[in-house]
């Protein structure tokens, strides 16, 4: 039985989890999968005594070239995060013919095309299941289980930090600021939460997932992105009143060669399966031409769930040794000119508008909507106080550009004090 020597780059939450799984499950993997895995090296920025409580001191190195020049190491597992030096290390490993397994969604989403080009040239494998959905086997499902389908839709709750915050705001009525502090104390949010709360993390993941689902490279800049920092407790009260909840959704839709990809807060019906993803859990909802709707659900982050996906990729790579698969779509830095990127997409919208308590207000607002081809499905008005009232309006499906023009038209009406919020609705 062949022994596969692996090296782990980074020994944080994920890297240490990978080491533990390989060590603790070694005999089971050898018996069940016919794969003999051994960790030969672990790269760290600096040697720390706490590392030696987990793994033998002689495994650790601060010099990447001790791994690159070690002919025994055939698989490099990158768990460092960020772009550099991860990008450089991955490129060098692939050029040397070493298979790379990574959990790094940012570097894959931004430099996938570079890595795959080099991997094809050297014959090395490139695997990245753990970049989307943590322990949820979503990418493998798309590539290995849904080949008979043309996938037309992807909806995902794929960032645990924001899902935790939004769940708390929805269920406990807390403000964004209160919930963020709580998430940071629990370790669910970073000290600088920008990547999560402004939607960057979900955008990186959607770039990878939608590219694979729609068989077309969709670079990060092609994705519309909007974060959760502008949401208020009143938005959640409104959603609850209407039978919705609010999620930061990653949305991809394909019709022919037309593709839309976007990440933003979205109201979805409480009956939708994605509403079952609470707290730090993730879920991905797919629509295939043959299978129709399916959903995968599970822990989207954390040491062991993500490490589980990494080790699964390592085993998969071992089974495909010398027969690695690559994407068959055009994978260049820019999106293929065969794809039409849809920026003027169709969606429902929920608006909260502060108006003067006077006659004819609704008539004036609905006239503006009508001028821009926007029709209403629901209108609610709160009790007036101090000469002001709040109106909630939910539209039928409308084009994004029409909706933006309508909102600008409403803002200049004398009877409108402020457009408090505009949240897209996904049925």
DSSP string, 9-27: E--SHHHHHHHHHHHHTHH
The tokens for 393 are 């309006």
User: CA dihedral defined by 383, 385, 389, 390, rounded to 10 degrees?
Assistant: -70
The tokens for 287 are 């629509």
120 is catalytic: no
Burial classification of residue 419, based on how many CB atoms lie within 10 Å of its CB (0-12 exposed, 13-18 middle, 19 or more buried): middle
Other Cβ atoms closer than 10 A to 125: 26
Catalytic residue among 92, 105, 205, 253: 205
**E-strand stretches of 194-276:** 224-225, 244-255, 258-269
CB 129 within 8 A of CB 135: no
CB 146 within 8 A of CB 289: no
The 60-61 sheet, strands edge to edge: 60-61, 36-43, 3-9, 73-78, 99-102, 126-127
Q: Please report, for residues 259, 267, 344, the alpha-carbon distance to residue 400 in angstroms, rounded to integers and kept in the order given.
A: 15, 16, 5
Which sign, positive or negative, has the C-alpha torsion 338, 342, 346, 348? positive
The tokens for 66 are 């001790």
Residue 86 forms beta bridges with which residues? none
Catalytically active residues, by annotation: 205
């Amino acid at each position: 039985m062949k022994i596969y020597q692996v090296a782990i780059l980074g020994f944080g939450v994920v890297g240490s989890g990978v080491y533990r799984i390989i060590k603790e499950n070694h005999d089971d993997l050898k018996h069940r999968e016919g794969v003999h895995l051994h960790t030969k090296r672990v790269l760290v920025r600096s040697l720390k005594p706490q590392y030696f409580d987990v793994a033998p001191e002689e495994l650790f190195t601060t010099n990447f070239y001790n791994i690159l020049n070690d002919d025994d190491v055939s698989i490099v597992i990158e768990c460092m995060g960020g772009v550099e030096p991860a990008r450089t290390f991955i490129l060098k490993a692939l050029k040397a013919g070493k298979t790379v397994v990574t959990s790094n969604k940012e570097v894959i989403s931004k430099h996938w095309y570079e890595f795959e080009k080099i991997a094809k040239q050297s014959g090395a494998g490139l695997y990245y299941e753990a970049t989307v959905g943590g322990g949820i086997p979503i990418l493998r499902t798309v590539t290995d289980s849904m080949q008979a389908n043309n996938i037309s839709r992807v909806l995902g709750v794929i960032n645990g930090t924001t899902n935790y915050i939004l769940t708390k705001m929805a269920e406990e009525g807390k403000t964004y600021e209160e919930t963020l502090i709580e998430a940071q104390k629990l370790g669910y949010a970073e000290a600088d939460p920008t990547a999560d709360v402004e939607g960057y993390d979900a955008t990186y993941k959607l770039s990878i997932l939608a590219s694979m689902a729609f068989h077309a490279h969709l670079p990060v800049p092609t994705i519309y992105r909007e974060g959760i920092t502008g949401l208020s407790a009143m938005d959640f009260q409104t959603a609850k009143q209407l039978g919705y909840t609010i999620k930061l959704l990653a949305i991809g839709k394909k019709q022919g060669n037309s593709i839309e990809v976007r990440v933003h807060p979205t109201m979805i019906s409480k009956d939708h399966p994605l509403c079952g993803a609470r707290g730090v859990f993730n879920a991905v909802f797919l629509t295939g031409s043959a299978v129709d709707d399916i959903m995968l659900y599970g822990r989207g982050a954390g040491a062991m769930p993500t490490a589980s996906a990494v080790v699964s990729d390592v085993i998969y790579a071992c089974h495909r040794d010398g027969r690695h698969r690559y994407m068959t779509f055009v994978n260049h830095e820019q999106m293929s000119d065969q794809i039409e990127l849809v920026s003027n997409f169709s969606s429902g919208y929920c608006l909260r508008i502060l108006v003067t308590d006077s006659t004819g207000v609704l008539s004036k607002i609905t006239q503006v909507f009508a001028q821009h081809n926007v029709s209403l499905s629901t209108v609610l008005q709160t009790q007036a106080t101090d000469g002001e009232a709040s109106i909630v309006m939910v539209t039928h499906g409308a084009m994004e550009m029409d909706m933006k023009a309508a909102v600008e038209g409403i803002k200049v009406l004398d009877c409108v004090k402020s457009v408090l919020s505009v949240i897209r609705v996904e049925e």
